[in-house]
Amino acid sequence: MAGTQDLERWVNECAEMTRPDRVRWCDGSQAEYDQLVAEMLRDGTFIELNQRTHPGAYLHRSHPSDVARTEDLTFICTPEREQAGVTNNWMEPGEAKTMARGLFKDAMRGRTMYVVPYLMGTPASPFAKVGVELTDSPYVVANMRLMTRMGQVALDHLQKTGEFAPGLHSLGDLDPKRRFILHFPHERLVWSVGSGYGGNALLGKKCLALRLASWMAHEEGWMAEHMLILGLEDPRGEVTYVAAAFPSACGKTNLAMLIAPLSQAGYRVWTVGDDIAWMRIGPDGRLWAMNPEAGMFGVAPGTNDATNHNALAMTTHDAIFTNVAMTPEGEPWWEKLTATPPAGLIDWQGHPWDPSAGPAAHPNARFTASAAQCPSISPHWEDPQGVPISAILFGGRRAHVAPLVYQAFSWQHGVFVGATMASETTAAATGDVGIVRRDPMAMRPFCGYNMADYFGHWLEMGQRIPNPPQIFHVNWFRKGPDGSFLWPGYGENIRVLRWILDRVHGRATAISTAIGAIPSPESLDLTGLDLNPAKVNALLEIDAAEWQTEANDIGTFLNTFGSHLPPELRAEQAALIQRLG
Ligand code: SAT
Ligand code: MN
């Protein structure tokens, strides 16, 4: 939609359909935020946490059935089914609207409709995009204020560009049977009803910045990716930027704010973003990435001083916690925050915790905080053009098959590696956890159009980028025969980042294998790690039989895409089989 008049007309139309008691235009100010918080504390939407240890921090307990993204209720609504492709749920736009109008009708009676203008990207960036979300959830408004640049700054931008992406959101009755997240890419429009959960309800994030943005990027020749962005500083002070795609809850936030252990003195990670990258070809022929978000919505369980000190530091004040447990002192708690759970915990549903009934915090409990609060935030995180990317990493959770790290032979091979990457499912989406599924570029839940055409777009970008990033695959999650992780992970991942950095700068040696180039023994710094040679071998092993099976399975996966599949990916699969002998 275009212009302020269109905005007013659309707000009125939506208000007529949903019938809120009042309509409140949000300016994004601190005073407005404080007032919203006060209202939510009064009606129980927010619970005050210990304001001495966690000033400005609040707890929200969601409806117990509304704790994660619901991929089966998420739809791409295009005139033709094949525009959405085989990895997306599809509905015809007219039908989708008729169905959803029934759910939105009178849905905001007795509630306030908040008009939330927001900007994805920094105001100075030529690539920033305006969205406007209408929502009846003050929790959503508060999160949007931390996750985006919200309010007047977005309206000012709208004045300049005359364009915005509209998004209508209502909690509805929170019944999963009446929950739908509908995307209309031709209108840059989102309708979301029946859920208050982050990825379903903060429409700037997955809905606009990934699903709709990937559609726009395909049309306009750029990339919208589910990637963290980090800068790796070497001992001479040179910073090399890396973007990395891992599925939800596979450690993007931890890697983006990694703290190097003492043994790796002189190396330092700078955080640019932890979830989404918008990437364009710069005038210098490199690929430049910017983080369209202003905050982080990270998984809380597992976060502790050793695994992610920076995330803890950024959430000790002015943060929203969702579905974590609470100590008797009113401090937030989740599994692995401390070695042993404190006595007297209140669980994520507000009851005294019964350890036999499950974890105290929901496995997908989240924190929301402004990115500026992250101690490792890069001085360049708001640069209008973004940062130049030297390496792209793909990865996931794989107990078997995938080695610690390997480098693709070429951009085209790298696209194949990304397109066929697999990962065990996590609690970030409803459904079974721990099932290996192929999640191309970690975009399976977020690609707003036909995934096979998306592969084609990646291949085409490769033709157009004069100086493309090198592509790597990493796997921190490989397990030994006893079922324990082989690699220590977390801060020690710096060693893999160092190898990648050295490869990019032509300094590290590698061994060419059937699947790509793996580190030669001397090129990976493992000093001080408790890893015997057998473990190192197991970490880097490429088991021929396992990979034969993998290559065949990849073939079956590629078959699901039918005629849209670019022939280059078939060719890469054939070449892999040939190299495996
Ligand atoms: O989709 S969320 O933004 O809630 C988090 C994720 O699953 O990546
Ligand atoms: Mn994500």
Specify whether 454 is located in the same domain as 355. Answer: no
Question: Which CATH number goes with the domain that contains 88?
Answer: 3.40.449.10
> Does the C-beta of 203 come closer than 6 Å to ligand 1?
no
Is 62 among the domain residues?
no
Q: How far is the CA of 369 from the centre of ligand 2 (A)?
A: 15
Specify whether 355 is located in the same domain as 454. Answer: no
Which ligand neighbours the alpha carbon of 275 most closely? 2
Q: How far is the CA of 199 from the centre of ligand 2 (A)?
A: 8
> Does the C-beta of 364 come closer than 6 Å to ligand 1?
no
Specify whether 308 is located in the same domain as 274. Answer: no
Residue nearest to atom 3 of ligand 1 (CA): 199
Q: Which helix (H) or strand (E) holds 511?
A: strand 510-512
Each of the 581 residues of the chain gets a pLDDT tens digit; together they read 777 899 999 999 999 999 999 999 999 999 999 999 999 999 999 999 999 999 999 999 999 999 999 999 999 999 999 999 999 999 999 999 999 999 999 999 999 999 999 999 999 999 999 999 999 999 999 999 999 999 999 999 999 999 999 999 999 999 999 999 999 999 999 999 999 999 999 999 999 999 999 999 999 999 999 999 999 999 999 999 999 999 999 999 999 999 999 999 999 999 999 999 999 999 999 999 999 999 999 999 999 999 999 999 999 999 999 999 999 999 999 999 999 999 999 999 999 999 999 999 999 999 999 999 999 999 999 999 999 999 999 999 999 999 999 999 999 999 999 999 999 999 999 999 999 999 999 999 999 999 999 999 999 999 999 999 999 999 999 999 999 999 999 999 999 999 999 999 999 999 999 999 999 989 999 999 999 999 999 999 999 999 999 999 999 999 999 999 999 999 999 999 999 99
Is 503 among the domain residues?
yes
Question: Which CATH number goes with the domain that contains 322?
Answer: 2.170.8.10
Q: Which atom of ligand 1 is nearest to the CA of 202?
A: 3
Specify whether 311 is located in the same domain as 395. Answer: no
Pick the catalytic residue: 207, 250, 374, 447? Answer: 250
Residues linked to residue 135 through DSSP beta bridges, in sequence order: 114, 169
Looking at residue 495, what is its pLDDT?
98
Is 61 among the domain residues?
no
Cα 273 from Cα 209, distance rounded (Å): 13
Cα 112 from Cα 24, distance rounded (Å): 7
Site to substitute for ligand 1 among 120, 192, 206, most atoms within 8 A of C-beta = 206
Specify whether 142 is located in the same domain as 277. Answer: no
> Does the C-beta of 297 come closer than 6 Å to ligand 1?
yes
Specify whether 282 is located in the same domain as 174. Answer: no
Specify whether 28 is located in the same domain as 174. Answer: yes
Is 573 among the domain residues?
yes
What is the number of structural domains in the chain? Answer: 3
Specify whether 353 is located in the same domain as 414. Answer: no
Looking at residue 521, what is its pLDDT?
86
Specify whether 74 is located in the same domain as 214. Answer: yes
> Does the C-beta of 248 come closer than 6 Å to ligand 1?
yes
Q: How far is the CA of 340 from the centre of ligand 1 (A)?
A: 28
> Does the C-beta of 445 come closer than 6 Å to ligand 1?
no
Residue nearest to atom 4 of ligand 1 (CA): 199
Phi, psi angles (nearest 5°) of residue 23: -120, 125
Which ligand neighbours the alpha carbon of 429 most closely? 1
Is 429 among the domain residues?
yes
Is 355 among the domain residues?
yes
Looking at residue 443, what is its pLDDT?
98
The distance of Cα 114 from the centroid of its chain, to the nearest Å, equals: 25
- CB distance 416 to 573 below 8 Å: yes
Q: How far is the CA of 428 from the centre of ligand 1 (A)?
A: 6
Looking at residue 295, what is its pLDDT?
98
Last residue in a domain, options 373, 405, 435: 373
Task: For the full predicted model, state whether its pTM sits above 0.95.
Answer: yes
Q: 431: domain range?
A: 225-294+379-580
Question: Which CATH number goes with the domain that contains 513?
Answer: 3.90.228.20
Specify whether 165 is located in the same domain as 311. Answer: no
Looking at residue 3, what is its pLDDT?
78
Specify whether 409 is located in the same domain as 504. Answer: yes
Tokens of 501: 């950095």
Is 51 among the domain residues?
no
Looking at residue 2, what is its pLDDT?
76
Last residue in a domain, options 325, 357, 373: 373
Looking at residue 4, what is its pLDDT?
84
Task: Give 393's DSSP letter.
Answer: E
Cα 441 from Cα 439, distance rounded (Å): 6
Cα 67 from Cα 61, distance rounded (Å): 9
Q: Which atom of ligand 1 is nearest to the CA of 205?
A: 3
Tokens of 293: 């978000």
> Does the C-beta of 198 come closer than 6 Å to ligand 1?
yes
Q: Which of 170, 273, 159, 166 is nearest to 224 (CA)?
A: 273
Taken as a whole, the chain contains a residue count of 581
Phi, psi angles (nearest 5°) of residue 308: -160, 80
CA dihedral 236, 528, 249, 375 (to 10 degrees): -40
Q: Give catalytic status of residue 250 as yes or no.
A: yes
Residue nearest to atom 1 of ligand 1 (CA): 199
Specify whether 456 is located in the same domain as 569. Answer: yes
Last residue in a domain, options 331, 354, 373: 373
CA 457 vs CA 150, 206, 262, 450: distances in Å? 31, 20, 42, 11
Q: What are the start-end ranges of the H helices in 202-265?
A: 213-220, 252-256
Is 56 among the domain residues?
no
Going through 282-415 in order, the beta strands assigned E by DSSP cover 287-290, 295-299, 319-322, 325-326, 332-333, 366-370, 387-395, 405-407
Q: Which of 68, 121, 67, 45 is nearest to 371 (CA)?
A: 121
Looking at residue 1, what is its pLDDT?
72
Q: How far is the CA of 237 from the centre of ligand 2 (A)?
A: 30
Which ligand neighbours the alpha carbon of 244 most closely? 2
